[in-house]
Structure 1
């Protein structure tokens, strides 16, 4: 099954089973934000699609925004916790051991930007889940990490949901 087929199947499922929308969105955002798992979870495309479902009135914006934000916060927090408690063991294990350049770039990014790097890192694909892990391995204070994590998650979720949520109604008025 291709990513497009998987995304389409999830979107169809959410449309048909709206009660499952929030748990699915939460799990996708969690997976997208969790180190290693984020490399295989096609959450970005599905969250963009969820925005379109919001725009068509199938699901509600605020609950989906909250579910995506909470999933992202908890995924990043778990990545941070893993890094803090398992240090370099995590980085030297599969699959990160296969991506030393990504780990190195994440370390450089974090050293340069600190807590701001955690905030900004959420918006850059491969760095999204690696930066919190690196923040943990580098023993970033939990307060600074949590501030960056909690403040960036709703903005990230909004950025992914807004094009569909607001673009679909706008296009309908434009071409409707």
Structure 2
């Protein structure tokens, strides 16, 4: 059977207070990935795992997407809900990714609490794995998941970005 031809996505860059965000959109203008310029190899690997071979071509993301992200970074936290996104993952990953935007800005949740909410109370590690495989940073707010003891634990874009995002959303993360 012949190999599936690579999918072509547009790649744009958006300056944010925490670095340059890479925005990957499909032919419909739907967000497929958002990661940080210094984590470009990770973003490309997550895309490959989701959709197979990908070609990224320089293309401006839709203005509505850019405006929503800029608005979020300027303090209008609800702007993220206007962004259309599409992911391809396992059924469990999809379940986790759809649950993450339901955690309101300004709040956090532990991996265990999300697992319980998904009616899989013993799936904390699976939630962690799905969270770490999230290809759309910020919009699918994986930064809102924290350790059971309140620690920040991991973030694909680095803990300083996670700390900034949570503080930006009004979370008191202590010292």
- TM-score, structure 2 normalization: 0.26
Task: Specify which structure has the bigger relative contact order, considering alpha-carbon pairs within 8 angstroms and separated by 6 or more residues.
Answer: 1
* Greater fraction of residues in strand: 2
* Greater fraction of residues in helix: 1
| Larger Cα-atom Rg | 1
